[in-house]
Amino acid sequence: MNSAKRILELALLQEAQEKNKDQNEQIDDLNDQIERCDQLESDAESEHELHDTDSEQSDCETVGDEFETVDELQPPEGEIFFNNTPIFRGKDKKTMWFKHAPKVYGRTKIQNLVVKIPGVKGIAREAKTPLECWKLFFPDDSIQEIVDYTNVYLGLMRKNYGRGRDCPDTNYDEIYALLGLLYLTGVKKSQDVDISELWTDDGTGPECFRSTMSYRRFYTLLRALRFDDHTDRNIRMAQDNLAPIRKQFDGFVERCKKNYQIGLYGTVDEMLEAFRGRCKFRKYIANKPAKYGIKIYALVDSTTFYTSNLEIYA
């Protein structure tokens, strides 16, 4: 049990380090772009001051030093002007543009009130290690369901083996180890590598893979891995294309909402998870880097990039 958890924790730690490295590089790139934009704006302003151009500002009538005020203007019906409010007048001599946004009086509307503090909430505050954070989204009962459903399918596969012991049932620890190895393949960017090469013993393959389980067992578990009851899947798929993962997926989304409160600003957009396997709702989007994949709509915090809600387009 400890070794299986250690494999998963090691994979999660390495993945977090890689993400932090990538995020720091993105922040540096953004800062460079901001500096370049500021420099361009500064150059443009200097050029504007040096040249007499026919702009909207020069066409605006001004009183005093810069702006016309609304002391002597009659406001349109239903509108109220305040004295000494600086305005720009358009070329048609009728359109008025206020320099400052109008003041808002009265109480803030209830839908605009922020009543929850953004950030980690609930039991998620107690998580300290990468493994503890991971368990917030994949608790023990979810892993146990995967174990049970996988064992059902392993029982069907066992009929094709001459010896039943060549295809034994899996358990909680082994699924933990399997997930840890899958994380490590992503950390080591092995998506384009023949998976069997990770088990080579000539010094090119990582030792942790062959030390955890054999390649044959790894391949068997991937074939048998199930997230739902295989016996009644066809009935559920008649109404839901996501039936094979619906229960696990909905549970994951609920835990995303439960563990973190997003801030004032969120973004809803689509993303394409690269995938070229067999799937009836696989999409092709020409302007995406991966072209083919699973389209997902997600609600993401604009500041921390935390995914609070998502739905697969199926």
pLDDT for the residue 280: 87
Interval 104-117: pLDDT, tens = 777 878 877 777 78
Does residue 256 contact residue 230 with C-beta atoms inside 8 Å?
no
Judgement on whether residues 267 and 291 belong to the same structural domain of the protein: yes
Judgement on whether residues 134 and 230 belong to the same structural domain of the protein: yes
Judgement on whether residues 74 and 109 belong to the same structural domain of the protein: yes
Domain count across the chain: 3
pLDDT for the residue 2: 63
Structural domain includes residue 296: yes
Structural domain includes residue 302: yes
pLDDT for the residue 74: 54
Residue recorded with tokens 């600086």: 86
Judgement on whether residues 110 and 142 belong to the same structural domain of the protein: no
Judgement on whether residues 286 and 193 belong to the same structural domain of the protein: no
- Taking the C-alpha atoms of residue 201 and residue 221, their distance in angstroms, rounded to an integer, is 21
Which of 214, 234, 254 marks a domain boundary? 234
Token output for 286 = 């020409």
Structural domain includes residue 77: yes
Judgement on whether residues 67 and 162 belong to the same structural domain of the protein: no
Judgement on whether residues 205 and 179 belong to the same structural domain of the protein: yes
Query: What letter does residue 125 receive in the DSSP assignment?
Result: G
Which of 62, 80, 115 marks a domain boundary? 115
Judgement on whether residues 161 and 186 belong to the same structural domain of the protein: yes
pLDDT for the residue 187: 87
Judgement on whether residues 179 and 227 belong to the same structural domain of the protein: yes
Segments forming the whole domain that contains residue 146:
130-234
Structural domain includes residue 94: yes
Judgement on whether residues 222 and 268 belong to the same structural domain of the protein: no
Computed on alpha carbons and rounded to an integer, the radius of gyration of the chain in Å comes to: 30
Query: What letter does residue 261 receive in the DSSP assignment?
Result: E
- Taking the C-alpha atoms of residue 101 and residue 85, their distance in angstroms, rounded to an integer, is 10
Judgement on whether residues 139 and 227 belong to the same structural domain of the protein: yes
Judgement on whether residues 134 and 215 belong to the same structural domain of the protein: yes
Positions of the chain with pLDDT lower than 70, given as ranges:
1-6, 19-24, 26-27, 29-31, 33-34, 36-85
pLDDT for the residue 67: 52
pLDDT for the residue 213: 92
Structural domain includes residue 35: no
Which residues are CB-contacts of 16 (< 8 A; sequence separation ≥ 6)? 130
